[in-house]
Structure 1
Amino acid sequence: MKQLNEKVAIVTGAGQGIGKGIALCLAKRGVKVVCTGRRIEPIEATVKEIKEAGGEGFAMSCDSSNRERVKEVVAKTVETYGTVDVVVNNAQAVAKSAPVEETTYELMYLAWSTGTIGSLNFMQECFPYFKEQKEGRVINFASATGMFGYAGNLAYGSNKEAIRGLTKIAAKEWGQYGITVNCVLPGAESPAAKEWAKKFPEKYEAILQQQPMRRLGDPETDIAPVIAFLAGPDSSYYSGQCLLLDGAYSIAP
């Protein structure tokens, strides 16, 4: 079984926020990291930071809903590093909020094509390599928005719940090949959240007061280490699980 620092990982949505934090954290622990995102500039900036910190990786623009481009990313990863060991399906286009009766097909398609289908695209393309080496790690991303049913977020939330279902079923089917499939529901600071906090400091403070730890998670130091655990050898018997990772803000019964 490979140690974490012997692995190759694809991290989607690695240009900012949680995805960037994960890419940096894994790279600093010796993982070779392939960073993807729809815009090339942010992911190239992430890779630059990785290399400045002594890590290794490269960037490829990719919309996860585009199956042909996903194939190209996986093929390039294997061509460069010989295999792929981990896929972190963090990328997700955020559909705007709307009540159920006003949620359009376009909003649903945007959320589902980039989330559930995008995650499945990378899972299926990585599967042959995972199966052949009898080891693989899939880490998907869901949200408390769907798990607890936050009003006004049908497109985003229902898609995130589908990702939880995808995770559980794949874990059942792929466990025989030494592949673990888990899902994380994070609560973390993001560039968008920081900008929002500047505009609405009182509302932001009110949110923090509802948070037991009185802060949002840091992508690299709070969220990413859990991803590193799920990507590494110590989680080889941990699969099919959905981890609420938001500092006790959300607690499942």
Structure 2
Amino acid sequence: MKQLNEKVAIITGAGQGIGKGLALHLAKRGVKIVCIGRRPEPIAQTAKEVQELGSQSFSMSCNTADREQVKEAVKKTVETFGTVDVMINNAQSIPPNAPVEETTYENMYLAWSTGTIGSLNFMQECFPYMKEQQEGRIINFASATGMFGYAGQLAYACNKESIRGMTKIAAKEWGQYGISVNCVLPGAESPAAKEWAKKFPEKYQAIIQQQPMRRLGDPENDIAPVIAFLSGPDSCYFSGQCLLVDGGYSIMP
């Protein structure tokens, strides 16, 4: 069984926020990182910072909803590093808020194509390599938005709930090949969270006051260590789980 510093990880949405934090943290532990995102400049910057930390990395622009682009990204990963050991599905487009009766097909499609379908695309393309080596780690990202049913976020939330279901089914089907599949629901200070806080400062402060630790998590220092565990050898018998990494916010009444 490979140690963490022997592994190759693909991270989607690696240009900023949680994805970038994961890339930098795993790089410090010796993981080779493939930075995936739509915009070339941010992911190239993340790959550069990974290399400066002493790990190997490259970036590749990719729309996760486009199966051919996903296929090319996984193919290049295997050509460059020999295999893929860890698939981290972090990318997600966020449609604007709307009540149920005003939620459009376009916004539903945006959420599902970049979330559930995008994650499935990468899972399926990575599967043959993980099956062949009888070892693999898939880490998907869901959200408490869906788990608790936040009003006004139908498109985003129901998509995130489907990712939780997909995670459990893949864990049951692929466990026989040594592939663990887990899901993380983070409470992190992402760029999207920061923008939301600027627009709704009073609501943001109300959330912080309800947070037992009185803060949101840092992507690199709070969220990424959990991802490192899920990526490494110590989690080989841990699968099909949905972890709330939110400083205890989800246990509040």
Deviations 1:11-52 (A, max 9, x none): 000000000000111111000000000101000111111111
2:22 is aligned with what amino acid?
Answer: I
Show the 5 A alignment for 1:1-253.
Answer: 1-198=1-198, 201-251=201-251
**C-alpha contact 1:244 1:251 (8 A) present in aligned 2:** no
Alpha-carbon distance in structure 2 between the residues aligned to 1:27 and 1:176: 29
Long gaps (5+) in structure 1? none
Give how far 1:194 is off. 3.0
Percent of aligned pairs with the same residue? Answer: 80
Alpha-carbon distance in structure 2 between the residues aligned to 1:31 and 1:148: 34
Give how far 1:190 is off. 1.5
Q: Would you identify which runs of 4 or more consecutive aligned residues in structure 1 move more than 6 Å? A: none
SS in 1 for 2:249: coil
**C-alpha contact 1:37 1:61 (8 A) present in aligned 2:** yes
Deviations 1:174-194 (A, max 9, x none): 000000000000000022333
Give how far 1:127 is off. 0.2
Alpha-carbon distance in structure 2 between the residues aligned to 1:91 and 1:248: 24
Give how far 1:198 is off. 4.8
Long gaps (5+) in structure 2? none
1:61 is aligned with what amino acid?
Answer: S
Alpha-carbon distance in structure 2 between the residues aligned to 1:62 and 1:23: 17
SS in 1 for 2:247: coil
Give how far 1:208 is off. 1.1
Give how far 1:84 is off. 0.4
CA RMSD of aligned residues (A): 1.4
Question: CA 1:170/1:136 → structure 2, altered by over 3 Å: closer, same or farther?
Answer: same
SS in 1 for 2:2: coil
Alpha-carbon distance in structure 2 between the residues aligned to 1:116 and 1:197: 26
